A and B are shown apart, each in its own frame.
Chain A
Amino acid sequence: MTTLVAFAAGLLFALGLGLAGMTDPDNVLAFLDLAGAWDPALMLVLAGACGLYMLGAPLVLRRGRPRWAARFALPTRRDIDGRLLVGAALFGVGWGLVGLCPGPALVDLAGLGGDIVLFVAAMLAGMFLFTRVFATSP
Protein backbone atom coordinates (compact mmCIF):
# COMPACT_ATOMS: atom_id res chain seq x y z
CA MET A 1 0.00 0.00 0.00
CA THR A 2 2.88 2.41 0.73
CA THR A 3 4.03 1.73 -2.84
CA LEU A 4 0.65 2.80 -4.22
CA VAL A 5 0.56 5.88 -1.97
CA ALA A 6 4.05 6.85 -3.16
CA PHE A 7 3.02 6.47 -6.79
CA ALA A 8 -0.12 8.57 -6.28
CA ALA A 9 1.86 11.23 -4.41
CA GLY A 10 4.45 11.36 -7.20
CA LEU A 11 1.73 11.66 -9.82
CA LEU A 12 -0.07 14.49 -7.97
CA PHE A 13 3.26 16.21 -7.29
CA ALA A 14 4.09 16.16 -11.02
CA LEU A 15 0.67 17.51 -12.02
CA GLY A 16 1.10 20.32 -9.47
CA LEU A 17 4.51 21.20 -10.91
CA GLY A 18 3.06 21.19 -14.42
CA LEU A 19 0.03 23.30 -13.50
CA ALA A 20 2.33 25.77 -11.75
CA GLY A 21 4.54 26.01 -14.85
CA MET A 22 7.58 24.82 -12.87
CA THR A 23 8.39 21.94 -15.25
CA ASP A 24 9.65 24.63 -17.62
CA PRO A 25 13.15 25.81 -16.60
CA ASP A 26 12.48 29.17 -18.30
CA ASN A 27 9.83 29.96 -15.65
CA VAL A 28 12.19 28.97 -12.83
CA LEU A 29 15.00 31.12 -14.25
CA ALA A 30 12.55 34.02 -14.70
CA PHE A 31 12.05 33.94 -10.92
CA LEU A 32 15.77 33.65 -10.21
CA ASP A 33 16.61 36.58 -12.51
CA LEU A 34 16.02 39.55 -10.22
CA ALA A 35 17.55 42.03 -12.66
CA GLY A 36 15.53 40.77 -15.62
CA ALA A 37 11.76 40.58 -16.24
CA TRP A 38 11.17 39.13 -12.76
CA ASP A 39 8.38 36.56 -12.49
CA PRO A 40 7.11 35.93 -8.93
CA ALA A 41 5.29 32.67 -9.85
CA LEU A 42 7.74 30.34 -8.07
CA MET A 43 7.17 32.24 -4.83
CA LEU A 44 3.44 31.56 -5.08
CA VAL A 45 4.07 27.87 -5.76
CA LEU A 46 6.22 27.66 -2.66
CA ALA A 47 3.72 29.68 -0.60
CA GLY A 48 0.83 27.44 -1.67
CA ALA A 49 2.68 24.17 -1.13
CA CYS A 50 4.46 25.15 2.05
CA GLY A 51 1.42 26.97 3.52
CA LEU A 52 -0.85 23.97 3.01
CA TYR A 53 1.80 21.63 4.47
CA MET A 54 2.20 23.90 7.48
CA LEU A 55 -1.55 23.73 8.15
CA GLY A 56 -1.98 20.04 7.31
CA ALA A 57 1.12 18.38 8.77
CA PRO A 58 0.22 19.00 12.46
CA LEU A 59 -3.25 17.49 11.84
CA VAL A 60 -1.67 14.43 10.20
CA LEU A 61 0.95 14.00 12.95
CA ARG A 62 -1.70 14.30 15.68
CA ARG A 63 -3.07 10.93 14.57
CA GLY A 64 0.02 9.27 16.03
CA ARG A 65 0.97 7.05 13.09
CA PRO A 66 0.62 7.05 9.32
CA ARG A 67 -2.29 5.16 7.80
CA TRP A 68 -0.28 2.39 6.13
CA ALA A 69 3.10 2.42 7.91
CA ALA A 70 4.29 1.69 11.44
CA ARG A 71 5.65 5.16 12.21
CA PHE A 72 6.49 8.59 10.84
CA ALA A 73 10.03 8.84 9.45
CA LEU A 74 10.87 12.49 10.03
CA PRO A 75 14.20 14.35 10.22
CA THR A 76 15.00 15.26 13.80
CA ARG A 77 18.21 17.32 13.46
CA ARG A 78 17.87 21.04 14.06
CA ASP A 79 21.55 22.13 14.02
CA ILE A 80 22.92 24.07 11.07
CA ASP A 81 26.29 22.61 10.06
CA GLY A 82 28.84 23.23 7.34
CA ARG A 83 27.70 20.32 5.21
CA LEU A 84 24.17 21.70 5.06
CA LEU A 85 25.34 25.14 3.97
CA VAL A 86 27.99 23.96 1.48
CA GLY A 87 25.59 21.41 -0.01
CA ALA A 88 22.78 23.95 -0.35
CA ALA A 89 25.20 26.48 -1.89
CA LEU A 90 26.40 23.97 -4.52
CA PHE A 91 22.82 22.93 -5.22
CA GLY A 92 21.82 26.55 -5.79
CA VAL A 93 24.62 27.08 -8.33
CA GLY A 94 23.52 24.03 -10.34
CA TRP A 95 19.87 25.05 -10.07
CA GLY A 96 20.68 28.56 -11.27
CA LEU A 97 22.79 27.34 -14.22
CA VAL A 98 20.00 25.37 -15.89
CA GLY A 99 16.79 26.03 -13.93
CA LEU A 100 16.17 22.39 -13.06
CA CYS A 101 15.93 20.80 -9.63
CA PRO A 102 15.34 17.06 -8.96
CA GLY A 103 11.50 17.02 -9.03
CA PRO A 104 10.91 18.89 -12.30
CA ALA A 105 13.90 17.14 -13.93
CA LEU A 106 12.33 13.71 -13.32
CA VAL A 107 8.90 14.91 -14.50
CA ASP A 108 10.51 16.34 -17.64
CA LEU A 109 11.92 12.90 -18.50
CA ALA A 110 8.46 12.20 -19.94
CA GLY A 111 9.24 14.75 -22.67
CA LEU A 112 11.97 12.36 -23.87
CA GLY A 113 14.44 15.18 -24.55
CA GLY A 114 18.09 14.17 -24.80
CA ASP A 115 19.26 17.19 -22.77
CA ILE A 116 16.90 16.27 -19.92
CA VAL A 117 18.15 12.67 -19.91
CA LEU A 118 21.72 14.00 -19.79
CA PHE A 119 20.87 16.29 -16.84
CA VAL A 120 19.14 13.50 -14.90
CA ALA A 121 22.04 11.10 -15.56
CA ALA A 122 24.51 13.69 -14.22
CA MET A 123 22.23 14.40 -11.24
CA LEU A 124 22.05 10.69 -10.36
CA ALA A 125 25.84 10.47 -10.77
CA GLY A 126 26.18 13.41 -8.34
CA MET A 127 23.96 11.65 -5.81
CA PHE A 128 25.88 8.41 -6.25
CA LEU A 129 29.15 10.28 -5.82
CA PHE A 130 27.85 11.61 -2.51
CA THR A 131 27.08 8.07 -1.39
CA ARG A 132 30.61 7.00 -2.35
CA VAL A 133 32.40 9.92 -0.70
CA PHE A 134 30.35 9.90 2.49
CA ALA A 135 29.55 6.18 2.63
CA THR A 136 31.07 5.71 6.08
CA SER A 137 29.45 8.68 7.81
CA PRO A 138 25.76 9.05 8.70
Chain B
Amino acid sequence: MDPSLLFALLGGLLIGTASLLLLAGSGRIAGVSGIVGGALARPAGDLAWRLAFVLGLVAGGSVLRVLSPRTLPTGLPHTALVIVGAGLLVGFGARLGGGCTSGHGVCGLGRRSPRSLAAVLTFMTTAFVTVHVVRHVLGGGA
Protein backbone atom coordinates (compact mmCIF):
# COMPACT_ATOMS: atom_id res chain seq x y z
CA MET B 1 0.00 0.00 0.00
CA ASP B 2 1.19 3.48 -0.90
CA PRO B 3 2.29 5.21 2.36
CA SER B 4 0.34 8.34 1.40
CA LEU B 5 -2.86 6.27 1.52
CA LEU B 6 -1.99 5.03 5.01
CA PHE B 7 -1.39 8.63 6.11
CA ALA B 8 -4.70 9.59 4.52
CA LEU B 9 -6.53 6.98 6.61
CA LEU B 10 -4.66 7.97 9.81
CA GLY B 11 -5.32 11.67 9.12
CA GLY B 12 -8.99 10.86 8.61
CA LEU B 13 -9.11 9.04 11.96
CA LEU B 14 -7.53 12.10 13.60
CA ILE B 15 -10.19 14.35 12.00
CA GLY B 16 -12.88 11.97 13.25
CA THR B 17 -11.36 12.10 16.75
CA ALA B 18 -11.33 15.92 16.70
CA SER B 19 -14.99 15.96 15.59
CA LEU B 20 -15.97 13.52 18.36
CA LEU B 21 -14.08 15.63 20.91
CA LEU B 22 -16.13 18.70 19.97
CA LEU B 23 -19.35 16.67 20.15
CA ALA B 24 -18.53 15.03 23.50
CA GLY B 25 -17.12 18.18 25.12
CA SER B 26 -19.32 20.94 23.74
CA GLY B 27 -22.18 19.15 22.01
CA ARG B 28 -21.36 20.83 18.71
CA ILE B 29 -21.04 19.64 15.13
CA ALA B 30 -17.51 20.11 13.76
CA GLY B 31 -18.59 21.82 10.55
CA VAL B 32 -16.06 24.46 9.63
CA SER B 33 -18.35 26.61 7.45
CA GLY B 34 -21.11 26.49 10.08
CA ILE B 35 -18.72 27.44 12.87
CA VAL B 36 -17.18 30.33 10.93
CA GLY B 37 -20.42 31.43 9.26
CA GLY B 38 -22.19 31.38 12.62
CA ALA B 39 -19.61 33.78 13.98
CA LEU B 40 -20.33 36.16 11.09
CA ALA B 41 -24.08 35.75 11.37
CA ARG B 42 -24.66 36.64 15.01
CA PRO B 43 -21.66 38.18 16.67
CA ALA B 44 -23.08 37.80 20.16
CA GLY B 45 -23.10 35.07 22.77
CA ASP B 46 -21.27 32.05 21.44
CA LEU B 47 -18.51 33.81 19.56
CA ALA B 48 -15.71 32.60 21.86
CA TRP B 49 -15.75 28.88 21.05
CA ARG B 50 -16.11 29.59 17.32
CA LEU B 51 -13.04 31.82 17.30
CA ALA B 52 -11.19 29.29 19.47
CA PHE B 53 -11.88 26.54 16.92
CA VAL B 54 -10.58 28.71 14.07
CA LEU B 55 -7.53 29.68 16.15
CA GLY B 56 -6.97 25.96 16.78
CA LEU B 57 -7.02 25.31 13.02
CA VAL B 58 -4.46 28.05 12.39
CA ALA B 59 -2.36 26.90 15.38
CA GLY B 60 -2.41 23.39 13.91
CA GLY B 61 -1.29 24.90 10.62
CA SER B 62 1.59 26.58 12.43
CA VAL B 63 2.63 23.22 13.91
CA LEU B 64 2.53 21.71 10.41
CA ARG B 65 4.60 24.61 9.13
CA VAL B 66 7.34 23.78 11.65
CA LEU B 67 7.21 19.99 11.31
CA SER B 68 6.59 19.69 7.58
CA PRO B 69 6.54 22.97 5.64
CA ARG B 70 5.73 21.19 2.37
CA THR B 71 2.21 20.40 3.61
CA LEU B 72 1.24 24.09 3.44
CA PRO B 73 0.99 25.77 0.04
CA THR B 74 2.16 29.38 -0.09
CA GLY B 75 0.78 30.18 -3.51
CA LEU B 76 -1.98 28.97 -5.82
CA PRO B 77 -1.47 28.45 -9.57
CA HIS B 78 -4.50 30.57 -10.50
CA THR B 79 -5.27 34.19 -11.35
CA ALA B 80 -6.57 36.45 -8.56
CA LEU B 81 -9.96 36.51 -10.32
CA VAL B 82 -10.30 32.72 -10.15
CA ILE B 83 -9.15 32.64 -6.51
CA VAL B 84 -11.69 35.30 -5.47
CA GLY B 85 -14.47 33.67 -7.50
CA ALA B 86 -13.75 30.26 -5.99
CA GLY B 87 -13.60 31.73 -2.47
CA LEU B 88 -16.96 33.47 -2.91
CA LEU B 89 -18.58 30.28 -4.27
CA VAL B 90 -17.14 28.15 -1.45
CA GLY B 91 -18.22 30.59 1.28
CA PHE B 92 -21.68 31.43 -0.07
CA GLY B 93 -22.40 27.90 -1.30
CA ALA B 94 -21.41 26.23 1.95
CA ARG B 95 -23.70 28.52 3.96
CA LEU B 96 -26.63 28.20 1.54
CA GLY B 97 -26.16 24.42 1.43
CA GLY B 98 -25.93 24.21 5.21
CA GLY B 99 -22.41 22.83 5.37
CA CYS B 100 -19.19 21.85 3.66
CA THR B 101 -16.88 18.85 3.49
CA SER B 102 -16.56 18.65 7.28
CA GLY B 103 -20.11 19.32 8.47
CA HIS B 104 -21.90 17.35 5.75
CA GLY B 105 -19.05 15.01 4.79
CA VAL B 106 -17.71 13.87 8.15
CA CYS B 107 -20.38 14.63 10.76
CA GLY B 108 -23.47 14.54 8.54
CA LEU B 109 -22.64 11.26 6.80
CA GLY B 110 -21.47 9.94 10.19
CA ARG B 111 -24.94 10.72 11.58
CA ARG B 112 -26.58 9.16 8.52
CA SER B 113 -28.33 12.43 7.63
CA PRO B 114 -30.18 12.27 4.29
CA ARG B 115 -29.60 16.01 3.79
CA SER B 116 -25.87 15.51 4.14
CA LEU B 117 -25.81 12.58 1.74
CA ALA B 118 -27.65 14.69 -0.84
CA ALA B 119 -25.27 17.61 -0.26
CA VAL B 120 -22.12 15.45 -0.52
CA LEU B 121 -23.30 13.75 -3.72
CA THR B 122 -24.17 17.15 -5.19
CA PHE B 123 -20.91 18.96 -4.37
CA MET B 124 -18.80 15.95 -5.33
CA THR B 125 -20.56 15.88 -8.71
CA THR B 126 -20.13 19.59 -9.47
CA ALA B 127 -16.51 19.46 -8.24
CA PHE B 128 -15.73 16.46 -10.50
CA VAL B 129 -17.35 18.26 -13.44
CA THR B 130 -15.54 21.54 -12.70
CA VAL B 131 -12.12 19.87 -12.53
CA HIS B 132 -12.86 17.93 -15.70
CA VAL B 133 -13.91 21.04 -17.61
CA VAL B 134 -10.95 23.11 -16.35
CA ARG B 135 -8.31 20.45 -16.95
CA HIS B 136 -9.55 18.46 -19.93
CA VAL B 137 -11.93 20.73 -21.84
CA LEU B 138 -10.39 24.18 -21.34
CA GLY B 139 -6.91 22.73 -20.97
CA GLY B 140 -5.92 23.85 -17.46
CA GLY B 141 -6.05 27.56 -18.22
CA ALA B 142 -7.61 28.51 -14.88
A residues at B contact (CB < 8 Å): 1-26, 29, 32-36, 39-42, 44-54, 56-57, 60-61, 63, 65-75, 77-80, 83-98, 100-103, 105-116, 118-131, 134
Q: Contacts A56-B16, A102-B94 known; A89 to B115 CB distance under 8 Å?
A: no
Q: Tell me whether B96 and A106 are in contact (CB under 8 A).
A: no
Give bound CA distance, A3 to B33, whole Å: 18
Q: Tell me whether B12 and A47 are in contact (CB under 8 A).
A: yes
Q: How many A-B residue pairs have CB under 8 A?
A: 496
Interface class of chain B by DSSP: helix
Count class of interface residues, chain B: 35 or more
Q: Tell me whether B60 and A107 are in contact (CB under 8 A).
A: yes
Q: Contacts A24-B71, A83-B96, A94-B89 known; A18 to B76 CB distance under 8 Å?
A: no
Q: Tell me whether A112 and B74 are in contact (CB under 8 A).
A: yes
B residues in contact with A109, CB < 8 Å? 58, 61
B residues at A contact (CB < 8 Å): 4-5, 7-30, 32-33, 36-37, 40-41, 48-50, 52-65, 68-76, 78, 80, 82-98, 100-102, 104-115, 118-120, 122-132, 134-136, 142
Q: Contacts A48-B12, A110-B58, A127-B33 known; A66 to B122 CB distance under 8 Å?
A: no
Give bound CA distance, A115 to B83, whole Å: 7
Q: Tell me whether A102 and B102 are in contact (CB under 8 A).
A: yes
Q: Tell me whether B16 and A50 are in contact (CB under 8 A).
A: yes
Q: Tell me whether B93 and A6 are in contact (CB under 8 A).
A: no
B residues in contact with A8, CB < 8 Å? 18, 21, 56
Q: Tell me whether A110 and B33 are in contact (CB under 8 A).
A: no
Checking A25, A68, A122 against B84 with a beta-carbon cut-off of 8 angstroms, the contacting residue is A122
A residues in contact with B114, CB < 8 Å? 78, 80
Q: Tell me whether B107 and A5 are in contact (CB under 8 A).
A: no
Among B9, B57, B83, B119: residue with most chain A CB under 10 A: B57
Give bound CA distance, A34 to B128, whole Å: 7
Q: Tell me whether B10 and A48 are in contact (CB under 8 A).
A: yes
Checking A1, A66, A102 against B23 with a beta-carbon cut-off of 8 angstroms, the contacting residue is A66
A-B pairs with the 3 shortest C-beta distances?
A: A10-B56, A14-B60, A48-B12
A residues in contact with B125, CB < 8 Å? 89, 92
Give bound CA distance, A97 to B132, whole Å: 10
